[in-house]
A and B are shown apart, each in its own frame.
Chain A
Amino acid sequence: MDFVQNLSISFGSFDTQTWFIALGILALIVGLFTIALLFHWWKYTFTGDVVVWPMALLYIVGVAILLGGATFELLTLLGI
Chain B
Amino acid sequence: MIRLDPGENIIIKARKHWFIFAIEAIFIGIMAFAPWFFAEWLIPFFESTFSFIELGQNVDPDMLSTALTLAYVTWLLILWIFLFVLWTDYYLDVWVVTNKRIFDIEQFGLFRRGVSVFRLNRIQDLTIETHGLIATVLGFGDIHVQTAGADEDFIMKGIRNPVRIKRIIHKAHEKALKKYREEGIV
Interface residues of chain A, those whose CB is within 8 Å of chain B, are 1, 3-14, 26, 30, 33, 36-37, 40-41, 43-46, 48-49, 51-52, 55, 59, 62-63, 66-67, 69-70, 73-74, 76-77
Contact = CB atoms under 8 A, between A and B. Distances in A.
B88 A12 contact: no
The range of chain B's interface size is 35 or more
A63 B40 CA distance: 28
Contacts of B74: 26, 70
Given A14-B52, A30-B81, A8 B57 contact: yes
Contacts of B73: 66, 69-70, 73
A75 to B, nearest CB: 10
A55 B91 CA distance: 11
A55 B84 contact: yes
A21 B186 CA distance: 66
A33 B73 CA distance: 17
Interface in B31-79: 39-40, 43-44, 47, 51-61, 63-64, 66-67, 69-70, 73-74, 76-77
B150 interface: no
12 contacts: A7-B47, A8-B56, A9-B52, A9-B53, A13-B51, A40-B110, A44-B92, A45-B1, A69-B73, A73-B73, A76-B66, A77-B63
Nearest to B1: A44
A33 B85 contact: yes
A77 to B, nearest CB: 5
A80 B66 CA distance: 13
Contacts of B13: 46, 48
A9 B52 CA distance: 6
B112 to A, nearest CB: 11
B70 A62 contact: no
Contacts of A40: 88, 92, 107, 110
Interface string B77-95: 1001100110110011000
